[in-house]
Amino acid sequence: MNEAIRAREVRVIGPDGGNLGVMATGDAVAKARELGLDLIEISPNAVPPVAKITDYGKFKYEQKKKEKEVKSKAHVTETKVTQVKIGTSERDMHIKASKAAAWLKEGHRVKVDLFLWGRYKYMEFSFLKERLERFLAIIPESYKVAEDIQKSPKGLSVVLEKDASKKPPKAPAQKHAPADPETAGEPLKS
């Protein structure tokens, strides 16, 4: 900025955005001071370097605004991990499946681990794979398998990612037992 610019000459852009041409750095700084503004080097690697006559505070504000816009558009994807076990209850599996669906909806990858310990590590692979596939079947979001089911140090694992080509599957309707006509409408006895 101003006298800190080391180049002997710079290509100057005026406050209105027009090209003022190549000038000696001292002349460009004098021109900026004459207008009550600053000379800011915006492209130091160009030959000759490009400098703009503008208000420094306004320049910094515009720069932060652009950075914020770029940051908001860039979506960082992470690999989220959820873990189920052989004895995980149906309710817990549904909670974990809905959390995995939320992560998939946000665009993250999801790694599902079937955690095995003790004797479970030596169970038949097809049985363990079926347990993991049961969990995958209840995820209420469309997904595709990024990495197939495979053995991992913790047990079995699979990596899922969002499948944008499919619509989310509809949740299966809950089946209720028909009400007993004799007890319908009576309060439960303790």
Query: What is the pLDDT, as a whole number, of residue 169?
Result: 47
Q: What pLDDT, on the 0 to 100 scale, is given for residue 54?
A: 82
What the block records as the tokens of 118 is 């003790």
pLDDT at 74: 64
The pLDDT of residue 8: 81
The residues of the chain that CATH labels 3.10.20.80 are 2-55
In which residue ranges of the chain is CATH 3.30.110.10 found?
A: 79-162
CATH architecture of 2-55: Roll (3.10)
Looking at residue 180, its pLDDT comes to 46
Query: Which of 94, 107, 90 has its CA nearest to residue 143?
Result: 107
pLDDT of residue 79: 82
**Which residue has tokens 């398998």?**
145
Assigned CATH topology for domain 79-162: Translation Initiation Factor IF3 (3.30.110)
pLDDT tens-digit profile, the chain (190 residues): 777 677 788 888 888 878 888 888 888 888 888 888 888 888 878 778 888 888 878 878 888 888 888 777 666 677 888 888 888 888 998 998 999 888 888 888 889 888 888 888 888 888 888 888 888 888 888 888 888 888 888 888 888 888 776 554 444 444 444 444 444 445 544 4
Parallel, antiparallel, or unpaired: how do β-strands 143-152 and 109-115 relate?
Answer: unpaired
Half-sphere exposure of residue 136: CA atoms within 13 angstroms, side-chain side = 23
